[in-house]
A and B are shown apart, each in its own frame.
Chain A
Amino acid sequence: MDLVIARPEGLYCPAGDFYIDPWRPVERSVITHAHGDHARNGNQHYLASSASEGILRARLGQDINLQTLAYGQRLTHHGVTLSFHPAGHVLGSAQVRLEYGGEVWVASGDYKIEPDGTCAPFEPVRCHTFITESTFGLPIYRWQPQAQVFNEINQWWQANIAAGKASVLFCYSFGKAQRILHGIDASLGPILSHGAVEPLNRVYREAGVYLPPTIYAGDVKKSDPIMRQALVIAPPSAGGSTWMRRFGDYSDAFASGWMRLRGTRRRRGVDRGFVLSDHADWPGLLWAIEQTGAERVMVTHGSIGVLVRHLREQGLDAQGFNTEYGDDEEENIGAEPVIAEVQA
Chain B
Amino acid sequence: MKAFAELYAELDATTSSNAKLAAMQTYFAQAAPQDAAWAVYFLSGGRPRQLVPVRILRELAVEVSGLQPWLFEESYQSVGDLAETISLVLPENSHSSEAGLAEWIEDKLLPLRGETPEYLARHLPALWAQLDRPSLMLCIKLITGSFRVGVSKLLVTRALASMAGLDSKRVAQRLVGYTDLSNRPNATSYLKLIAPESADEHAQRGGQPYPFFLAHALSQPVEEFEALLGPASNWQVEWKWDGIRAQVVKREGRLWVWSRGEELVTERFPEFDTLVHALPDGTVIDGEIVVWKSTHPSTEDAFDPQSSAPPAVQPFALLQQRIGRKTLDKKILEEVPVVVLAYDLLEWQGEDWRNRPQAERRAQLEQVIAHGNNPVLLASPILTGSDWFDLAQQREASRRLGVEGMMLKARDALYGVGRTKDMGVWWKWKVDPFSVDAVLIYAQRGHGRRASLYSDYTFAVWDGPPESSQRALVPFAKAYSGLTDEEMRQVDSIVRKTTVEKFGPVSSVKPSLVFELGFEGIALSRRHKSGIAVRFPRMLRWRQDKTVDEADSLATLQDLLA
Contacts and interface: CB of A to CB of B under 8 A. Distances in A.
Interface of A: 138-140, 142, 260-267, 269, 271-273, 303, 306, 309-310, 313
Given A261-B84, A272-B13, A306 B452 contact: no
B432 interface: no
Nearest to B452: A263
B88 interface: yes
Contacts of B81: 262-263
29 contacts: A138-B71, A138-B74, A138-B75, A138-B78, A139-B89, A140-B75, A140-B78, A140-B88, A140-B89, A142-B88, A261-B84, A261-B452, A262-B12, A262-B448, A263-B81, A263-B448, A263-B450, A263-B451, A263-B452, A264-B451, A264-B452, A266-B12, A266-B448, A267-B449, A267-B453, A303-B74, A306-B74, A309-B70, A310-B71
B75 to A, nearest CB: 5
Interface in B67-123: 67-68, 70-72, 74-75, 78-81, 84-85, 88-89, 92
A306 B68 CA distance: 11
Contacts of A142: 88, 92
B508 interface: no
Given A139-B75, A263-B449, A271 B13 contact: yes
Contacts of B80: 263
Interface residues of B, number: 29
B373 interface: no
Nearest to B16: A271
Contacts of A264: 451-452
B380 interface: no
Interface centre among B68, B70, B75, by most chain A C-beta atoms within 10 angstroms, is B75
B364 interface: no
B85 A140 contact: yes
B12 A139 contact: no
A303 B447 CA distance: 19
Contacts of A267: 449-450, 453, 485
A74 B72 CA distance: 43
Nearest to A263: B451
Nearest to B150: A266
B189 interface: no
Contacts of B92: 142
A140 B449 contact: no
B79 A140 contact: yes
A139 B67 contact: yes
B15 interface: yes
Interface centre among A260, A263, A310, by most chain B C-beta atoms within 10 angstroms, is A263
A320 B138 CA distance: 37
Given A139-B65, A263-B448, A263-B449, A269 B15 contact: yes
Given A264-B451, A271-B13, 10 more contacts: A139-B72, A139-B88, A261-B84, A262-B84, A263-B80, A263-B81, A263-B450, A266-B449, A267-B453, A267-B485
A272 B74 CA distance: 26
A310 B79 CA distance: 19
Nearest to B489: A267
Interface string B192-224: 000000000000000000000000000000000
B561 to A, nearest CB: 38
B14 interface: yes
A247 to B, nearest CB: 17
